[in-house]
Amino acid sequence: ETGVTQTPRHLVMGMTNKKSLKCEQHLGHNAMYWYKQSAKKPLELMFVYSLEERVENNSVPSRFSPECPNSSHLFLHLHTLQPEDSALYLCASSPGGAGGLYNEQFFGPGTRLTVL
């Protein structure tokens, strides 16, 4: 497996469910990111982890909870979501840690989430 992988690729959940999205990067990168992409809106940065430390939490509701157990894995735990949370959730990684201005970000394929 190469690059950035995400599972599951599609997820349908009810508002009372608890689920988790998983991201794994095989690039030896030090930073990982969660983005939300909704139709007709720009990519929204949710969380940034650098060297396993959360360095950015972009005013995301507490029903989204990230976890980064090591530099290769990133999770997004979901609970009591709302229908407006339905979107494409993208994970990305970049080579450098915090403070790197010139770090290209590489994206995984995304998880298409539908909240009923």
Partner 1 sequence: QKEVEQNSGPLSVPEGAIASLNCTYSDRGSQSFFWYRQYSGKSPELIMFIYSNGDKEDGRFTAQLNKASQYVSLLIRDSQPSDSATYLCAVNEGGGGNKLTFGTGTQLKVEL
Residue 101 near partner 1 by CB under 8 A: yes
Q: How many CB atoms lie within 10 A of CB 58?
A: 12
- Selected range binding partner 1 among 10-18, 40-48, 60-68, 70-78, rule: CB under 8 A: 40-48
Q: Which of residues 11-30 bind partner 1 (CB under 8 A)?
A: none
Among 2, 59, 84, 102, interactor with partner 1 by CB under 8 A = 102
CB of 93 vs partner 1, minimal distance in Å = 11
Q: Which of residues 46-75 bind partner 1 (CB under 8 A)?
A: 48, 50, 55-56
| Residue 47 phi, psi (nearest 5) | -140, 150
Which of residues 52 and 56 has its CB atom nearest to partner 1 in the complex? 56
**What single string gives the DSSP state of each residue in 22-73?**
EEEE-S--SEEEEEEE-TTS--EEEEEEETTEEEEE-S--TTEEEEEEETTE
CA dist 87 and 14 (Å) reads: 14
Distance from the Cα of residue 90 to its chain's centroid: 5
Residue 41 near partner 1 by CB under 8 A: yes
Among 23, 31, 68, 113, interactor with partner 1 by CB under 8 A = 31
How far apart, in Å, are the Cα atoms of 116 and each of 2, 25, 37, 112?
Answer: 33, 30, 18, 13
Summarize as ranges the residues that interact with partner 1 (CB under 8 A). Answer: 31, 40-43, 45, 48, 50, 55-56, 88, 90, 94, 96, 98-110
